[in-house]
């Protein structure tokens, strides 16, 4: 059974995917979850705190979806294994960015990348995720650029999700 916190975070993630940030505030979230703002404030005193928790959940999901089950032992791979490993990681990046949490991150990033309160945080998250990839690539001797691999799927997801978000805004 989900805790109230998990329910709130799950709702906000889905809200970001389907309607972006437009007019999202704690009062609207509380109302949609059949709570009053005071009840929601017991869990999240402001929207920024809630957003930080959502980003934490998304970061955990990224780590699990991309790196789960990898047993890297600083083993050097053959050239053929390099390509297979790169394709494996590429598939996992694709799966992450097409999942609900990946789509939510794209929406959050697009909404807040130029907001001074969140710009540095979002850049730090992207940098951390890219660094995780670089470390994994380096540990097995894969020469592919982790930055390019990450950004390819990140930018593809941004292009894919942006029209859906704009279409929703023009209808509602």
With cut-offs at 50, 70 and 90, classify the pLDDT of residue 54.
very high
With cut-offs at 50, 70 and 90, classify the pLDDT of residue 167.
very low
With cut-offs at 50, 70 and 90, classify the pLDDT of residue 75.
low
Which domains does the chain possess? 4-171 (1.10.357.10)
C-beta separation of 146 from 133 below 8 A = yes
């Amino acid at each position: 059974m989900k805790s109230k916190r998990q329910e709130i975070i799950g709702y906000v993630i889905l809200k970001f995917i389907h309607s972006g940030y437009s007019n999202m505030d704690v009062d609207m979230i509380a109302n949609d979850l059949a709570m009053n703002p005071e009840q929601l404030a017991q869990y999240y005193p402001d929207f920024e705190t809630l957003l930080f928790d959502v980003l934490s959940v998304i970061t955990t999901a990224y780590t699990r979806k991309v790196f789960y089950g990898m047993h890297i032992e600083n083993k050097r791979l053959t050239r053929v294994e390099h390509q297979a490993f790169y394709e494996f990681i590429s598939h996992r990046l694709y799966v992450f960015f097409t999942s609900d949490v990946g789509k939510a991150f794209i929406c959050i990033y697009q909404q807040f990348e130029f907001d001074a309160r969140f710009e540095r945080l979002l850049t730090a998250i992207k940098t951390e995720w890219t660094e995780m990839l670089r470390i994994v690539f380096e540990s097995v001797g894969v020469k592919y650029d982790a930055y390019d691999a990450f950004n390819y799927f990140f930018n593809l997801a941004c292009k894919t999700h942006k029209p859906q978000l704009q279409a929703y805004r023009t209808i509602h």
